Amino acid sequence: MNAITKDRSDTLAPFGTRLDGVTDPVRKAAIGALHRSGLPDRRVEEWRYTSLRFLSETPLAAPAEVYDAGQIQAQLENLGLSTGPLADLPRLVFVNGRYAEPFSVLPAEVKVSFFAKTQTFGSLSAPDRDPLTALNAALASDGAQLHVPAGKNGGDVLLVSLGQTDTPVSFHPRHSVTLDEGAQLTLISIQAGQGRYLHNPVLEISVAAEANLKHVTLQTEGQDAACLATTYAQVAERGTYDSFVLGLGAALSRQEIHARLAAPFATVHVNGAQMLGGKQIGDVTSVITHAAPDCISRQTVRNVLDGHARGVFQGKVFVDRVAQKTDGYQMNQALLLSENAEIDAKPELEIYADDVKCSHGATVGALDDDQLFYLRSRGVPDAEARQILIHAFMDEALGLIEDETARALCTQMLARSFPVAGESA
Amino acid sequence: MPAVTETREAVEKLGQSSYKWGFETDIDMDVAPKGLNEDTIRLISARKEEPEWLLEWRLAAYRAWLKTTEPEWAKVSYPPIDYQDLHYYAAPKKKPGPKSLEEVDPELLRTYEKLGIPLHEQAMLAGVELPEGETARPPVAVDAVFDSVSVVTTFRKTLEEAGVIFCPISEAVRDYPDLVRKYLGSVVPAGDNFYAALNSAVFTDGSFVFVPKGVRCPMELSTYFRINAKNTGQFERTLIVVEDGASVSYLEGCTAPMRDENQLHAAVVELVAMEDASIKYSTVQNWYPGDENGRGGIYNFVTKRGACRGARSKISWTQVETGSAITWKYPSCILQGEGSVGEFYSVAVTNNHQQADTGTKMIHIGRNTRSTIIAKTISAGHSDSTYRGLVRVLPKASGARNFTQCDSLLIGDQCGAHTVPYIENRNMGARIEHEATTSKISEDQLFYCRQRGLSEEDAVGLIVNGFCRDVLKELPMEFAVEAQKLLQISLEGSVG
């Protein structure tokens, strides 16, 4: 086929010479894969709804090492991280993909090291298959490596990534989180920034037996930014990985999560919500692999789309032949507030075991007329009634966040990006 | 568990003999040399005494085909097909054109008799030869297609009196060239996809139906396709045009002999429904599925599409897919007319090494268009079955409504069942609902049936029939009976 035989290296032009002269074998292999695949276009099935043309328009340089501390401080304040309940939490702050020590507070029960020092690529990611992971492997320069020893509770930890640039740049942090047997951690990832940049993080997560990781990602990147994040999680026997992604920012975003239930009685939750307007494109893609029997997966993703925004949901549940007694559930719902908004959804079940209980559902529609009428007949003005219904729709999704601190943060940030009342009436 | 032993025995007993349509008919054939090039197309066109425009249309399609590539996105795998190693034309030798049933080669008629196809109008009307347990059926007009050509079409006189044209498409090209020229390729363009382009280049026969304004077709129309000759591909083309306020119900059935080799079947079906028109298209697809080791069987790569052009028009696809080694088929509806309705009811059963990737596309273009998709998938043995469906709502389709339900049943732990819906909505006033489940046969249901003395096989048959009921009830009566039997036969020996 044309798409395969054609040399796709030209799609890498925005990165210029940054991909040349690499000697590290892992990076070299990744660059090789990248040259073969190029950046994906919409002919690639996994990318049929999300175009990366946004990236090809401008050269993306490596970010400068210096940054404006005042602006970073202002960003942290804007995110509510300087005062209030979040101010006291341990935090690892990255600016343009590099660890920023002055703004960070190391956690007590969690061992922390950095990719810049140890440079270890984990074994969970698939740079051969996922071009954006290959791009990360090729260009990663720093990242947090968190390790919670057996039986310890790491508490709440913030992982904050801030972009701050005047010229177009890209940064590719490489994070990892390892929970030993019976360990616990609540990780709150915050992705934010100012300027035109590509944030392309890869996060590898390993949850050992009986361990429990709660992971909430708040994506509120700058309006000119692209955030293409990939997470790989592996969960061992009776372990739990509970993930929630809230997408609010960025011109183009994709949160891609690969979760693998590797041993019996493991559980994953891959929940999320997006609220988009303007010309935003937000993509939530997940692949949940049941590789062992008796595992549970749950997924609920809700989209609210206004303006010319486009929401994408691709959710695949793969059940291996050995994964008998799998219990999988997936729900995707979208609310369209404007005539120009669009939702593309592709919930997918690929099942090779017979004794399973898997289902998925998807609904798309506008606000319910009956519900609106109910509120209006009780004297609630139209605009307010709409707000109430949208709030209710999103609240149900946010209710899936177990950690209260994280939920409060998400609720607060969501309220800020609410569409202007009555605009779409 | 004794049931397992029972099943094993049943499986061993079955073997190849389970495909009872696997006989071959020995008939004098007129076969084109192997290979595909412009000369082959000219030969087909000449044999069929076609007008110049059709030859040109075929050649254009062939040139388009050369530029397209075989689709690879479906979840099926098979060794590459050598398109030059096929005969593109095979016809029973002509003893100057059969005018009536009496002139048709008796060997052929015996074949259709074995298939249980009611060609003999007289016998049917008299109500004789009814299988046990059935009451008298309304007459059905049949067009029987043997390899590349249509051998006989029944009830034509009755239909003509009503104004309905029902004939082989090759005859339609001769007798109604304007109609054919106007609609052929208007729903599935010649270069639409790889297989459609191939079909457009080399199609040999198929049925043509035209129901004029306000006419309700007085009887069910039916086509039976049979691939018989070795090394041939069958490329039939069906075109159904229903004018304002008219309606028709059309049935399609197909079988092929058992062979070790794979045979290609690449059909195109085009439906056109004008204002207030309705078309019901039912298929029972029972091509030879290959043996229990996955040897042989038909590759069924079919493009079926209907256009609801007029307001309030309706197209309903019902399919029961039990045969073929590989099925690649997505009967679709383009809902242009305001308030038009598309329906897709499907049962797909795969056993042994069969692979099926089938589903539908509902394209909502007009306002207040509605579509319903009910897909039931049953996988057994080592087979793989995929539902792949698209619901697309375009910006002007305010008030569009779609409901989709896909249920998969897995029988045995060596098979796979997959669901891949695509939902694309660009209109805030549209409502789309999709739900899908995958499970095995409920232990409770099985226990309940076993407790009441049913054997495991019978219990599974009963449960599967219940599982498919929503679809089977959409079939015309005589087809529903056949389909139920087929389901049972297809799944025999798969329980355990």
pLDDT digits (tens, 9 = 90+) for A163-218: 999 999 999 999 999 999 999 999 999 999 999 999 999 999 999 999 999 999 99
- Is the CB of B432 less than 8 angstroms away from the CB of A365? yes
Q: Would you give the distance in Å from CA A414 to the centre of its chain?
A: 16
Mean pLDDT rounded to a whole number for chain B: 82
Of B222, B302, B292, B225, residue with least CA distance to B270? B302
> With bands split at pLDDT 50, 70 and 90, how would you rate the model's confidence at B12?
very low
pLDDT at B56: 93
Q: Which residues of B touch A341 (CB under 8 A)?
A: 426, 428
Q: Give how far A245 is from chain B: nearest CA, Å.
A: 22
> With bands split at pLDDT 50, 70 and 90, how would you rate the model's confidence at B14?
very low
> With bands split at pLDDT 50, 70 and 90, how would you rate the model's confidence at B484?
confident
Residue B223: both structure tokens together: 């086509």
pLDDT tens for residues B350-361?
A: 988 999 999 999
pLDDT tens for residues B285-336?
A: 888 888 888 888 888 999 999 999 999 999 999 999 888 889 999 999 999 9
The average pLDDT across B248-265 equals 79
Q: Which residues of A touch B408 (CB under 8 A)?
A: 349, 351
Query: How many whole angstroms separate alpha carbon A379 and alpha carbon B462?
Result: 55
Q: Which residues contact B433 (CB under 8 A, 6 or more apart)?
A: A361, A362, A363, A364, B402, B403, B404
Look at residue B1 and tell me whether its pLDDT is greater than 70: no
> With bands split at pLDDT 50, 70 and 90, how would you rate the model's confidence at A23?
confident
Interface residue of A352, A369, A423 to substitute, partner B, most B CBs within 10 Å: A352
- Alpha helix (H) residue ranges in A140-236: none
Look at residue B21 and tell me whether its pLDDT is greater than 70: no
pLDDT at B453: 93
3-state secondary structure of B461: helix
DSSP string, B310-370: STT-EEEEEEEE---SEEEE--EEEE-STT-EEEEEEEEEE-TT-EEEE--EEEE-STT-E
> With bands split at pLDDT 50, 70 and 90, how would you rate the model's confidence at B31?
confident
Identify the bridge partners of residue B425 per DSSP, sorted by sequence position.
A343, B393
3-state secondary structure of A28: helix
Q: Give how far B452 is from chain A: nearest CA, Å.
A: 24
Which is it for strands A327-336 and A342-351: parallel, antiparallel or unpaired?
A: unpaired
Look at residue B17 and tell me whether its pLDDT is greater than 70: no
Q: Which residues of A touch B438 (CB under 8 A)?
A: 349, 351, 356-359
Q: Which residues of B touch A369 (CB under 8 A)?
A: none
> With bands split at pLDDT 50, 70 and 90, how would you rate the model's confidence at B139?
low
Look at residue A2 and tell me whether its pLDDT is greater than 80: no
> With bands split at pLDDT 50, 70 and 90, how would you rate the model's confidence at A420?
low
pLDDT at B235: 87
Query: How many whole angstroms separate alpha carbon B7 and alpha carbon A76?
Result: 67
Provide the terminal-to-terminal Cα distance of chain A, rounded to the nearest Å. 47
Q: Give how far A308 is from chain B: nearest CA, Å.
A: 10
pLDDT tens for residues A80-92?
A: 998 888 899 999 9
Of B341, B337, B386, B378, residue with least CA distance to B359? B386
- Is the CB of A346 less than 8 angstroms away from the CB of B420? yes
3-state secondary structure of B238: strand
> With bands split at pLDDT 50, 70 and 90, how would you rate the model's confidence at A161?
very high
> With bands split at pLDDT 50, 70 and 90, how would you rate the model's confidence at B233?
confident
Query: How many whole angstroms separate alpha carbon B426 and alpha carbon A344?
Result: 9
Q: How many CA atoms lie within 13 A of B366 on its CB side?
A: 23
Considering only A178-182, B112-116, B262-266, B267-271, which range has the smallest mean pLDDT?
B112-116
Look at residue B118 and tell me whether its pLDDT is greater than 80: no
pLDDT tens for residues A267-321?
A: 999 999 999 999 999 999 999 999 999 999 999 999 999 999 999 999 999 999 9
Judged by a CB distance cut-off of 8 A, whether residue B403 touches chain A is: no
> With bands split at pLDDT 50, 70 and 90, how would you rate the model's confidence at B9?
very low
Question: Phi-psi category of A189—alpha, beta or left, where left has phi over 0 and alpha has psi -120 to 50?
Answer: beta
Interface residue of A290, A351, A369, A390 to substitute, partner B, most B CBs within 10 Å: A351
- Alpha helix (H) residue ranges in A194-289: none
> With bands split at pLDDT 50, 70 and 90, how would you rate the model's confidence at B7?
very low
Considering only B27-31, B86-90, B305-309, which range has the smallest mean pLDDT?
B27-31
Q: H or E segment at A371?
A: helix A369-377
Look at residue A102 and tell me whether its pLDDT is greater than 50: yes
pLDDT tens for residues B37-87?
A: 898 899 888 888 899 999 999 999 999 999 988 888 888 888 888 888 888
Q: Give how far B245 is from chain A: nearest CA, Å.
A: 32
> With b meaning 16 or more CB within 10 Å and e meaning fewer, what string describes B405-427?
bbbbbbbbeebbbbbbbbbbbbb
Residue A382: both structure tokens together: 């139209």
Cβ proximity of B8 and B457 under 8 Å: no
Q: Which residues of B touch A353 (CB under 8 A)?
A: 410, 413
Cβ proximity of B337 and B312 under 8 Å: yes
Residue in chain B closest to A316 (alpha carbons) equals: B420
- The tokens 């045969």 sit on which residue? B323
Q: H or E segment at A3?
A: helix A2-5
Q: 0.80 cut: is pTM over it?
A: yes
Identify the bridge partners of residue A247 per DSSP, sorted by sequence position.
A219, A274
Q: Which residues contact B269 (CB under 8 A, 6 or more apart)?
A: B188, B237, B238, B239, B240, B281, B302, B303, B304, B305, B331
> With bands split at pLDDT 50, 70 and 90, how would you rate the model's confidence at A326?
very high
- Is the CB of A366 less than 8 angstroms away from the CB of B422? no
**Structure-model confidence comparison of residues B167 and A312, the more confident one:** A312
Query: How many whole angstroms separate alpha carbon B466 and alpha carbon B178?
Result: 46
pLDDT tens for residues A380-408?
A: 999 999 999 999 999 999 999 999 999 99
Interface of A with B (CB under 8 A): 1-2, 45, 321, 324, 334, 336-366
Cβ proximity of A403 and A184 under 8 Å: no
Look at residue B124 and tell me whether its pLDDT is greater than 60: no
Q: H or E segment at B30?
A: strand B29-31
Of B423, B429, B437, the CB nearest to A359: B437
**Structure-model confidence comparison of residues B110 and B476, the more confident one:** B476
Phi and psi, residue B477, nearest 5°: -50, -55
Residue A90: both structure tokens together: 């341990």
Query: How many whole angstroms separate alpha carbon A270 and alpha carbon A284?
Result: 10
Judged by a CB distance cut-off of 8 A, whether residue B420 touches chain A is: yes
Query: How many whole angstroms separate alpha carbon A169 and alpha carbon B227?
Result: 62
Judged by a CB distance cut-off of 8 A, whether residue B460 touches chain A is: no
Judged by a CB distance cut-off of 8 A, whether residue B399 touches chain A is: no
Highest mean pLDDT among A117-131, B86-100, B360-374: B360-374
Judged by a CB distance cut-off of 8 A, whether residue B418 touches chain A is: yes
The average pLDDT across A48-62 equals 88
Highest mean pLDDT among B190-194, B289-293, B335-339: B335-339
Domain spans in chain A, listed from the N-terminal domain onward: 2-368
- Is the CB of A1 less than 8 angstroms away from the CB of B410? no
Query: How many whole angstroms separate alpha carbon A388 and alpha carbon B260?
Result: 65
Provide the terminal-to-terminal Cα distance of chain B, rounded to the nearest Å. 9
Q: Give how far A346 is from chain B: nearest CA, Å.
A: 5
Phi and psi, residue B188, nearest 5°: -115, 95
Query: How many whole angstroms separate alpha carbon A341 and alpha carbon A304?
Result: 9
Q: What percent of chain B has pLDDT over 70?
A: 79
